[in-house]
Amino acid sequence: MHGISTRLAEFASGEIAPSKRTCEIIRLSLADWAACGLAGVNEPVAKITRDMILAERGAGASVVFGGGVAPARAAALVNGATSHALDFDDTHFLHIGHPSVVIFPAVLAIAQERNLPGAQMMEAAALGFEASARIGAWLGRGHYEAGFHQTATAGSFGATLACGRLIGLTAVQMQHALGICATRASGLKSQFGTMGKPYNAGLAASNAIETVTLAALGFTSRLDGLECVQGFGDTHAGIADMSAFDDLGEVWVTESVSHKFHACCHGTHAALEALHLAEAGMRTDDVARVDIRTNPRWARVCNIAVATTGLEAKFSYRMTTAMALLGRVTGRADQFEDGFCVQADAMDMAAKVHVEFVGHIAETAAEVIVTDVHGRAHHAEFDLASPLPIAALEQRLDVKLSNLVGAGTAAKLAEAAREMQNAASVDELAALLAG
């Protein structure tokens, strides 16, 4: 029986046929990713990594967010960190990670450096998303709970396969690249709340370019670095869930990538979506009480009872609910202000919200009951794991991107992503990253 490194390498170097929805998701995620990066260019972690890389003045064709070019290995580091700086990019729950912020910086940097057509980059990106999610699932929740940041760890391997395909590695070279990645990949969850979190995305993207560049030059490592005794999985609390690869290539789990529409903790999103459904058309003054039920995982993540700052509001079911009911756009980072939290109407509304944690509700789901002043209960549920139809998703992303980077830029990004499939190069999108 083949090991998983062989299986993944053969998959990544052979014919692949991403599903239609997968291709649509990649297109939408590309524009979403670019917008997150543009909106993040002035974040400290973005400036700092950019300063480091541009000071090295390497010769390269890969654009970095905010302007300037660098060698692919360096640009990927900056672009990963920059696009994850606001933590507003997409998520894959099976992966337990953020695919866009690792895969796109890596494949875009290589596509520019080698002047590859857009369709080739998009195909490699689909592969990278899919492989990251599968490898993340193989490492499993045990890996995440032990303290590893799947975005960076599984992401490094997924991006390695994507970049390996893009530069035409053979299956065996691809295995060596995975082997190199086994000794290079890293990323800890204890960095959350610091610049280390977005940096983790950048280092994963950069790792991938390093591993495939070395493999292409003849670097040989283990052929089974992921799964061997004391390989990456073994040493990093991986649970080695082989079912993660059962239908690889047939079913595309990339279809269930989830996008963020609210500029606050992901744990609050299902409740905000359910709230939106439950309160549809209700007057603010008519709301008497809101009950939120969700998974106990979030009890110590985003349940600040009395949020008094914009930052605290992002981690508060009560305050995000108050914002939504009072007509604030939770999709805009600038709406999470300190001032709002101490307004009388906000505090009054927040006090009407009751949160309960219930084991049988999925981590990705929430139930909301809005009771009006007439005693009528309006009930709705939402599960982030249930995919939105593409048209609905596209509409919501249009609104998100307009809020994030302005309608003009949002339209250009969406257009560049749409045209990518037929573009002779990736230059049009890349030029937009310079801002």
Binding site for its own copies (CB under 8 A): 44-45, 48-49, 51-52, 55-60, 71, 73-74, 146-149, 152, 179-180, 182-191, 194-196, 199-200, 203, 210, 213-214, 217-222, 225, 228-232, 234-237
Of 94, 210, 223, the closest CA to residue 163 belongs to 210
What does residue 187 show for φ and ψ, rounded to 5 degrees?
145, 120
Helices (H), 84-149: 100-113, 118-145
Taking the least distance from each CB to its own copies, the nearer of 222 and 400 is 222
Taking the least distance from each CB to its own copies, the nearer of 56 and 345 is 56
Q: Which helix (H) or strand (E) holds 17?
A: none
Taking the least distance from each CB to its own copies, the nearer of 190 and 284 is 190
- What is the strand order of the sheet 287-294 is part of? 353-357, 287-294, 365-372, 377-383
Query: What tokens does 186 get?
Result: 């890293």
Taking the least distance from each CB to its own copies, the nearer of 74 and 393 is 74
* Minimum separation from the CB atom of position 295 to its own copies (A): 21
Taking the least distance from each CB to its own copies, the nearer of 197 and 262 is 197
Query: What tokens does 164 get?
Result: 């390996």
Taking the least distance from each CB to its own copies, the nearer of 234 and 398 is 234
* Minimum separation from the CB atom of position 171 to its own copies (A): 18
* Minimum separation from the CB atom of position 64 to its own copies (A): 14
Query: What tokens does 335 get?
Result: 């709406």
From residue 68, how far is each of 58, 109, 149 by CA, in Å? 11, 13, 29
Taking the least distance from each CB to its own copies, the nearer of 74 and 410 is 74
Please tell me the distance from the alpha carbon of residue 315 to that of residue 293, in angstroms, as a whole number: 16
Q: Cβ distance 368 to 305 under 8 Å?
A: no
Taking the least distance from each CB to its own copies, the nearer of 40 and 71 is 71
Taking the least distance from each CB to its own copies, the nearer of 183 and 308 is 183
* Minimum separation from the CB atom of position 232 to its own copies (A): 7
Spacing of C-alpha 108 from chain mean position: 16
* Minimum separation from the CB atom of position 147 to its own copies (A): 3
Of 116, 121, 124, 208, the closest CA to residue 159 belongs to 208
Which residues on neighbouring strands pair with residue 97, listed in sequence order? 92
Q: Cβ distance 25 to 255 under 8 Å?
A: yes
Taking the least distance from each CB to its own copies, the nearer of 72 and 368 is 72
Which residues on neighbouring strands pair with residue 354, listed in sequence order? 291
Q: Cβ distance 334 to 325 under 8 Å?
A: no
Characterize the bridge pairing of strands 353-357 and 69-70.
unpaired
Query: What tokens does 41 get?
Result: 């260019």
Q: Cβ distance 254 to 26 under 8 Å?
A: yes
CB count in 10 Å sphere of residue 44: 10
Query: What tokens does 156 get?
Result: 């490094």
* Minimum separation from the CB atom of position 188 to its own copies (A): 5
Q: Cβ distance 295 to 361 under 8 Å?
A: yes
Taking the least distance from each CB to its own copies, the nearer of 142 and 406 is 142
Q: Which helix (H) or strand (E) holds 276?
A: helix 269-278
Please tell me the distance from the alpha carbon of residue 143 to that of residue 140, in angstroms, as a whole number: 6
DSSP state of 334: G
